[in-house]
């Protein structure tokens, strides 16, 4: 079969017309899966095809293979048993948002915040670059479940990849098991994902080329086809671009599935909070990448009697349960966390999680065979091998670990993991939090007046840029619902979908709050200590849920009554509390103008309810 004849044009995996919604998708069994694998193998021309079963035995085999090939460095087992260091190409260290495409049938469905390409044109480009891309390599077939296998909120997927590193990482980040194949054989639908580093080891003349430790291609594509539930990734070995179950499936494709089926796929952590009285609550929170999500997900409260347990640190899928309440799962099985800034004083739980069985990417290597990154210890070692493989000392004038270096580890290994983190039906959500990095304006904590106001807060999140994405670090950018790089359809329609979900939930809808740990004083210093002390804010949120804490009504939401926020023992500046909750009329009116400009990007697709919220905010400020 020629490349031009491969059925990747206007039909789903060459079988049926593109369905109008996920509910119309035909179920496909193992025969369809095998046929699809054969088609991709014919296109990419690997030396062999290996079905990865996710077992410890197979993971051990592949990590040994990667070590032998120089693609992983085995760490000193005395310090990090069964752990490894990976280094990516210096030009392949973060998500490539300018090469990430949403190829919906209608350009307007992608919206102004996504890169759109016409689907058939993009498919033609992909056929060109994928042709022969796996020559000399192995194609790994990785069937996986996002969420508990067979659960009511869970979904299935299959990734084809020529990277053993990706296959092993998928075994940590998802549930890779033969039970997934059994469900597919029984007719369960699945999302099709294909990945290649774009570095064939055999050229067109059958000449084998010298391999490099972490190959990639200068040409990169991260492509989502929402209508047919497909993902194609080419040219990158970095986790966020290559582990397609993560952002590509769990957010970009899943958000479209959620829109079509009436649920939510969100960039949110989930925690279980237990009060001194023994009452448990579940909170979901949306923060942009590298803005403290993992720290909050693994919070060790500074105030006595409170406990916080981890359910998920990055992604939440939320669906209304039979009892009418919004229930959530963490669809992932592992953590893919940012290493720099993670240390005993900021996130002791994460440090304890990484004792072993971990793959570190782009951190520094110590002389004793352990790893190090900025923030792990107060004093750096006298000598390291940095993330590029070069000698490093504290006088080198450059970071030893890349600012977006990562760790990949099983969630079950976290010492703070909740006993219901893997609940088959999910956990009931009592409150939803939105937050970002704001040096001004946004108070430490506020409560939305109702669900509609809460959607307005989520739609107007803005945050300072971090190293996890492309752009100027420190630059302020809008990141509604912390989903700007991850929503698989028009963001304004996403806000409308949230409003619709709220209408279905009615009186069972969770309370909505906004938090900001990063407000600064006039001298540029942080007003709030953050980290473990954020438990004091969580305490007020829980007391609001219980109806035991009061609030002051302001134009931007409900703020705590000053003496009801536990500040005992904090060494705050004399005017810090006032500054943390100051609502400056002129600054907020200017913010309203910026919000209107942002809404105008979406034209008539912005829900009228959010335009009304903006008008109400202006009115009450004046």
CA distances from 442 to 513, 554, 567 (A): 12, 13, 19
Sign of CA dihedral 239, 245, 250, 254: positive
* Per-residue confidence band for 130, with pLDDT thresholds at 50, 70 and 90: very high
C-alpha 25/C-alpha 405 separation (Å) is 38
Same domain assignment for residues 423 and 355 = no
C-alpha 385/C-alpha 389 separation (Å) is 5
pLDDT tens by residue, 155-193: 999 999 999 999 999 999 999 999 999 999 999 999 999
Residue pair 228/16 in contact by the 8 Å Cβ criterion: no
> Known binder of ligand: residue 377?
no
pLDDT tens by residue, 449-504: 999 999 999 999 997 665 555 556 556 789 999 999 999 999 999 999 999 999 99
pLDDT of amino acid 3 = 31
Same domain assignment for residues 599 and 533 = yes
Which CATH number do you get for residue 373?
A: 2.170.8.10
Tokens of 69: 């090939």
> Known binder of ligand: residue 293?
yes
pLDDT of amino acid 191 = 98
* Per-residue confidence band for 288, with pLDDT thresholds at 50, 70 and 90: confident
pLDDT of amino acid 208 = 81
> Which residue, of 213, 243, 262, is where some domain finishes?
262
CA dihedral 456, 459, 460, 464 (to 10 degrees): 150
At residue 532, φ and ψ (nearest 5 deg) are -60, -30
> Known binder of ligand: residue 87?
no
Residue 437: inside a domain = yes
Tokens of 368: 């004793």
C-alpha 521/C-alpha 386 separation (Å) is 35
Range list of β-strands (E), 180-295: 191-196, 221-225, 230-234, 264-266, 269-274, 280-286
For residue 456, give the nearest of 509, 499, 487 by alpha carbon.
499
Looking at the structure of the chain, the number of domains it has is 3
Same domain assignment for residues 276 and 253 = no
At residue 231, φ and ψ (nearest 5 deg) are -135, 135
Tokens of 518: 């990063």
> Which residue, of 223, 247, 262, is where some domain finishes?
262
For residue 553, give the nearest of 471, 490, 616 by alpha carbon.
616
Residue 90: inside a domain = no
Same domain assignment for residues 187 and 322 = no
Residue pair 400/386 in contact by the 8 Å Cβ criterion: yes
Q: Which of 103, 216, 248, 291 is catalytic?
A: 291
* Per-residue confidence band for 16, with pLDDT thresholds at 50, 70 and 90: very low
> Known binder of ligand: residue 532?
yes
Rg (C-alpha) for the chain, rounded Å, is 24
Q: Is the pTM above the cut of 0.85? A: yes
Residue 592 annotated among the catalytic residues of the structure: no
> Known binder of ligand: residue 76?
no
C-alpha 361/C-alpha 106 separation (Å) is 38
Q: Is 455 exposed, middle or buried (0-12, 13-18, 19+ CB in 10 A)?
A: buried
Residue pair 89/108 in contact by the 8 Å Cβ criterion: no
Residue pair 268/196 in contact by the 8 Å Cβ criterion: no
Residue 143: inside a domain = yes
> Known binder of ligand: residue 404?
yes
What range does the domain containing 194 cover? 3-69+95-262
Tokens of 482: 């912390």
**Whether the predicted pLDDT of 4 surpasses 70:** no
> Known binder of ligand: residue 314?
yes
> Which residue, of 262, 281, 316, is where some domain finishes?
262
Tokens of 309: 């347990």
Residue 524: inside a domain = yes
> Known binder of ligand: residue 414?
no
> Known binder of ligand: residue 592?
no
> Known binder of ligand: residue 295?
yes
> Known binder of ligand: residue 290?
yes
Residue 74: inside a domain = no
Residue 149: inside a domain = yes
**Whether the predicted pLDDT of 254 surpasses 70:** yes
Please give the average per-residue pLDDT across 551-573, as a whole number.
Answer: 94
Residue 398: inside a domain = yes
Same domain assignment for residues 408 and 424 = no
pLDDT of amino acid 10 = 35
pLDDT tens by residue, 83-105: 999 999 999 999 999 999 999 99
Same domain assignment for residues 161 and 258 = yes
Average pLDDT of the chain, as a whole number: 92
Which stretches within 45-163 are classed as H helix? Answer: 56-68, 107-110, 119-130
Same domain assignment for residues 223 and 358 = no
**Whether the predicted pLDDT of 427 surpasses 80:** yes
Same domain assignment for residues 317 and 198 = no
Same domain assignment for residues 377 and 501 = no
Same domain assignment for residues 378 and 474 = no
pLDDT of amino acid 465 = 60
Same domain assignment for residues 48 and 124 = yes
| pLDDT cut 90: percent of the chain above it | 87
> Known binder of ligand: residue 357?
no
DSSP per-residue string spanning 291-350: SSHHHHHT---SSTT-EEEEEESS-EEEEE-TTSSEEEE---SEEEEE-TT-SHHHHHHH
CA distances from 286 to 103, 263, 546 (A): 26, 16, 22
**Whether the predicted pLDDT of 108 surpasses 60:** yes
Same domain assignment for residues 403 and 454 = no
Residue 596: inside a domain = yes
pLDDT tens by residue, 41-93: 999 999 999 999 999 999 999 999 999 999 999 999 999 999 999 999 999 99
For residue 228, give the nearest of 387, 420, 36, 515 by alpha carbon.
36
> Known binder of ligand: residue 348?
no
C-alpha 517/C-alpha 322 separation (Å) is 36
Helix axes 178-185, 30-44, angle to 10 degrees: 110
Which CATH number do you get for residue 617?
A: 3.90.228.20
> Known binder of ligand: residue 294?
yes
**Whether the predicted pLDDT of 384 surpasses 80:** yes
pLDDT of amino acid 291 = 75
């Amino acid at each position: 079969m020629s490349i031009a004849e491969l059925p990747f044009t206007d039909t789903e995996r060459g079988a049926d017309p593109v369905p109008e919604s996920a509910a119309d998708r035909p179920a496909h069994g193992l025969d369809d899966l095998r046929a699809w694998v054969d088609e991709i193998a014919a296109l990419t021309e690997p030396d062999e095809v290996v079905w990865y079963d996710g077992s410890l035995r197979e993971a051990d085999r592949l990590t040994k293979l990667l070590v032998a090939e120089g693609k992983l460095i085995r760490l000193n087992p005395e310090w990090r048993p069964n752990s490894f260091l990976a280094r990516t190409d210096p030009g392949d260290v973060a998500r490539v948002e300018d090469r990430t495409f949403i190829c919906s049938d209608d350009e307007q469905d992608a919206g102004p915040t996504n890169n759109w390409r016409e689907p058939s044109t993009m498919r033609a480009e992909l056929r060109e670059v994928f042709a022969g891309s796996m020559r000399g390599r192995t194609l790994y077939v990785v069937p996986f479940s996002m969420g508990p296998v067979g659960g009511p909120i869970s979904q299935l997927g299959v990734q084809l990849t020529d990277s053993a590193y990706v296959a092993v990482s998928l075994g940590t980040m998802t549930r890779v098991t033969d039970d997934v194949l059994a469900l597919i054989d029984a007719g369960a639908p699945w999302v099709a994902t294909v990945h290649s580093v774009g570095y064939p080891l055999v050229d067109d003349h059958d000449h084998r080329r010298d391999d490099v430790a972490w190959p990639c291609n200068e040409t990169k594509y991260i492509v989502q086809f929402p209508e047919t539930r497909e993902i194609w990734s080419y040219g990158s070995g970095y986790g966020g671009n290559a582990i397609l179950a993560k952002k590509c499936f769990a957010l970009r494709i899943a958000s479209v599935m959620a829109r079509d089926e009436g649920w939510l796929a969100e960039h949110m952590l989930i925690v279980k909070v237990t009060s001194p009285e023994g009452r448990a609550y579940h909170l979901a929170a949306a923060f942009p990448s590298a803005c403290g999500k993992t720290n909050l997900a693994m919070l060790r409260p500074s105030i006595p009697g409170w406990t916080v347990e981890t359910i998920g640190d990055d992604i939440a899928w939320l669906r209304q349960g039979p009892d009418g309440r919004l229930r959530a799962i963490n669809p992932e099985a592992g953590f893919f966390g940012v290493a720099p800034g993670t240390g005993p004083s900021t996130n002791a739980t994460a440090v304890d999680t990484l004792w072993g069985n971990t793959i570190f990417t782009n951190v520094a290597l110590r002389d004793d065979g352990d790893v190090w990154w900025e923030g792990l210890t107060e004093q750096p070692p006298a000598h390291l091998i940095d993330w590029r493989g070069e000698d490093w000392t504290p006088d080198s004038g450059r970071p030893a670990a890349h600012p977006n270096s990562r760790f990949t580890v099983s969630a079950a290994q976290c010492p703070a993991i909740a006993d219901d983190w893997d609940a088959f039906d999910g956990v009931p959500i009592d409150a939803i939090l939105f937050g970002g990095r704001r040096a001004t304006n946004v108070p430490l904590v506020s409560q939305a007046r109702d669900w509609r106001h809460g959607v307005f807060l989520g739609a107007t999140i803005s945050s300072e840029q971090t190293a996890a994405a492309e752009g100027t670090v420190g630059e302020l950018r809008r990141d509604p619902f912390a989903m700007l790089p991850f929503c698989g359809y028009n963001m304004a329609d996403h806000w409308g979908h949230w409003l619709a979900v709220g209408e279905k939930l009615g009186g069972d809808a969770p309370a909505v709050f906004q938090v900001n740990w990063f407000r600064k004083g006039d001298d540029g210093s942080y007003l709030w200590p953050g980290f473990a002390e954020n438990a004091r804010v969580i305490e007020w949120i829980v007391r609001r849920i219980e109806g035991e804490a009061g609030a002051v009504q302001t134009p931007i939401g409900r703020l705590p009554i000053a003496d009801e926020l536990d500040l005992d023992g904090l060494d705050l500046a004399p005017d810090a509390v006032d500054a943390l909750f100051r609502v400056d009329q002129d600054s907020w009116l200017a913010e309203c103008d910026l919000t209107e400009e942002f809404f105008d990007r979406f034209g008539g697709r912005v829900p009228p309810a959010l335009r009304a919220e903006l008008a109400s905010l202006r009115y009450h400020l004046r």
